[in-house]
Structure 1
Amino acid sequence: MQITLKDIARMAGVAESTVSRALNDKKGVGKETKLKILKIAKEHNYRPNQLARGLAAKKTNMIAVVLSEMDSPGNIEIVKYLEKAAENVNYQIILCNTNNQQEKEKTYLSLLESNQVDGAIFIGGKLVGSHLLRASFSNENSIVLVNRLAEENFFTTVLTDYSNGIYQAAKHLLKEGYQKIALVSGPKDNLVEEEKTNGYLQALEESGLKIKEDLIYSTDSSREAGYNAFLKIIESEVIPDAFISTKELTTIGLVEAIKMGGYFIPDDFAVIGYGDSILTSIIEPPLTVLSEPLEELAKKSFNFLLKLINDDLDSKKIEVLNPSLIIRDSSLAKYN
């Protein structure tokens, strides 16, 4: 059983307040008494209750990292970089997964509102709801959004320029000679996915191509969804010659469906995926992908949050980072 402050006080024959002063190296404790207390604490492997100390001091050195999707490889990479940044300044993270459920998000938000964490970073998800918006009105709630949009600029936010990323991908395929490019995107009610679709539409319009609705397919973010998207699109009136997938897992399913159908990449269909992760790196032929600056997203969002916690940020900030198109074999020129 974990030894408590009260246990140490009883063993040392002193008051709890004396133990607290000794352990926190504060004045008012004799040298011999302090050494006795420290010896007892060391022998019994005493660890202070960080949460209790934080509640008393209104600082816990802990932050909540709230994920909309735990199965997104990109989100997990951001969490890893956040954890590393936090450890460098003696902070810890509490990982919370909402699975895009608003009620879960409200529950995790209560950690911040009850001072159990010093701040919160929300990664991904749908348009900010009223509960999170209300929380932003209090200066005591330090909140940073990562790759999540709000209708009003009440949040410090770090974003990937999704529209520009998919625009780059579509322009690359058009330059390579592909004319019938299908887009496999996430749910229609997700504004981030809407931004990706806008980039696709812009590239096609600039090239003078007619938009074919049959080539735009919205689905969820699973591997199975990517597989089924290919089967659906291939049965439509317009057969594509290239695909852009906006999610890591749908990309895996899409490639699997193409190969199971006896087709070849890029001979029959060129493919551009999303996310330069361990999953996409094992695809053959090597996959052209849009790679997000995940480490930079994490570092900037954490630094913003620290400034909010320490009242060093004079106004809400929005920083937009560009993804990079990594060109590999899967999108080579159709006409050699």
Structure 2
Amino acid sequence: MQITLKDIARMADVAESTVSRALNDKPGVGKDTKRKILKIAQENNYRPNQLARGLAANKTNMIAVILSEMDSPGNIEIVKSIEKSADEKGYQIILCNTNNQEEKEKNYLSLLESNQVDGAIFIGGKLVGSHLLRASFSPKNNIVLVNRLAEENFFTSVLTDYSQGIFKAVKHLVGEGFKNIALICGHQNDLIEEEKISGYKLALREAGLEVKPELIFPTKADRQAGYDVFLDIIEKDVIPDAFISTRELTTIGLVEAIKMGGYFIPDDFAVVGYGDNILTSIIDPPLTVISEPVGKIANYSFEFLLKLINEKMNEQQIEVLTPELIIRESSISKYN
């Protein structure tokens, strides 16, 4: 059983306040008494309750990182980078997954509102709801949004320019001679996916190509959906010569289906995926990807939160970052 402050006081035959002063190196404790208390604490492997100490001091050195979904490798990479930055500054993170459920998000938000954490970073998710908006009105609630939108943005935010990322991919494929470019994406009621669809349409128009609704395929964000959508596509009248997949798991399924059908990448179909991570790196041939600046997203979001916690931010800040297109073999035309 973990030894407590009260246990040490009893073993040293002193008051709990004396133990507290000794352990926190504060004046008012004799040298012999302090030495005795520290020896007892060391021998019994005493560890202070960080949360209890934090609540007493109105600071916990803990932050909540609240994910809309755990299935996104890109989001996990952002979390890992935030954790590294937090550790360097003496903070710990509590990782929370809402699975896009509003009630779960409200429950995790209570960690912030009850001062159990010093701040919260929300990564991804639907349009900000009224519960989160209300929380933002209190100056004690330190909140940073990552890749999440609000109708009235009262939040310090770090955003990815998803539209520009897809725009770059379409422009590259058109430059390689591909004309019928399919978009495997999420549904338009997802604001992030809507941004990607917008970038796709804009790039086609600027290239003088027709936007064909029959080449836009909304799917679920999983491997099976990517596999199934290809089987549906090859039965249709308009067959694409290139694909852009906006999510990692969908890309994996799409590539598997192309290969299982006896087709070759990029000879039969060019493919551009999303996210430069462990999942997309195993694809053969090497996959052209739209890569988010994960490190910058993490650094900006944590530094913004730190400024809010330390009351060093005078006004809301918004940072918009542009994805990079990393060109590899999967999208290079054999005719160029």
Q: Which moved more, 1:227-236 or 1:212-221?
A: 227-236
- Are the aligned partners of 2:157 and 2:319 in contact in 1 as well (CA < 8 Å)? yes
- Are the aligned partners of 1:153 and 1:316 in contact in 2 as well (CA < 8 Å)? no
CA distance in 2, matches of 1:40, 1:219: 61
Q: Which residue of 2 aligns with 1:186?
A: 186
**How much has 1:221 moved relative to structure 2?**
1.1
Q: Which residue of 1 aligns with 2:73?
A: 73
Q: Which residue of 1 aligns with 2:15?
A: 15
CA distance in 2, matches of 1:127, 1:66: 15
- Are the aligned partners of 2:74 and 2:275 in contact in 1 as well (CA < 8 Å)? yes
Q: Which residue of 1 aligns with 2:228?
A: 228
CA distance in 2, matches of 1:310, 1:236: 58
Q: Residue 316 of structure 2 aligns to a residue in which SS? A: coil
**How much has 1:187 moved relative to structure 2?**
2.8
User: 1:1-336 to 2 correspondence within 5 Å?
Assistant: 1-336=1-336
**How much has 1:334 moved relative to structure 2?**
4.8
**How much has 1:57 moved relative to structure 2?**
1.0
Question: Between Structure 1 and Structure 2, how many residues are aligned?
Answer: 336
**How much has 1:264 moved relative to structure 2?**
0.7
Encode CA deviations 1:246-267: one digit per residue, 9 max, x unaligned. 0011100110111111111111
CA distance in 1, matches of 2:268, 2:97: 39
**How much has 1:152 moved relative to structure 2?**
1.2
TM-score, scaled relative to structure 2: 0.99
TM-score, scaled relative to structure 1: 0.99
Q: Residue 289 of structure 1 aligns to a residue in which SS? A: strand
Q: Residue 144 of structure 1 aligns to a residue in which SS? A: strand
Query: Structure 1 counterpart of 2:163, which letter?
Result: S
CA distance in 2, matches of 1:125, 1:220: 15
CA distance in 2, matches of 1:318, 1:228: 38
Q: Residue 148 of structure 1 aligns to a residue in which SS? A: coil
Q: Residue 273 of structure 1 aligns to a residue in which SS? A: strand
**How much has 1:235 moved relative to structure 2?**
2.2
Q: What do you get for the CA RMSD once the two structures are aligned?
A: 0.8
CA distance in 2, matches of 1:22, 1:270: 68
Q: Residue 271 of structure 1 aligns to a residue in which SS? A: strand
CA distance in 1, matches of 2:98, 2:224: 21
Encode CA deviations 1:67-106: one digit per residue, 9 max, x unaligned. 1111111111111111100010110000001111111111
Q: Residue 64 of structure 1 aligns to a residue in which SS? A: strand
Q: Residue 65 of structure 2 aligns to a residue in which SS? A: strand
CA distance in 2, matches of 1:156, 1:285: 40
CA distance in 1, matches of 2:220, 2:329: 27
Encode CA deviations 1:135-160: one digit per residue, 9 max, x unaligned. 11111000001111111121000011
Query: Structure 2 counterpart of 1:232, which letter?
Result: D
CA distance in 1, matches of 2:81, 2:118: 19
**How much has 1:234 moved relative to structure 2?**
2.2
CA distance in 1, matches of 2:335, 2:305: 49
CA distance in 2, matches of 1:176, 1:258: 20
Query: Structure 2 counterpart of 1:259, which letter?
Result: K
CA distance in 2, matches of 1:168, 1:97: 31
CA distance in 2, matches of 1:220, 1:137: 35
Identical amino acids, percent of aligned pairs: 76
- Are the aligned partners of 2:136 and 2:155 in contact in 1 as well (CA < 8 Å)? yes
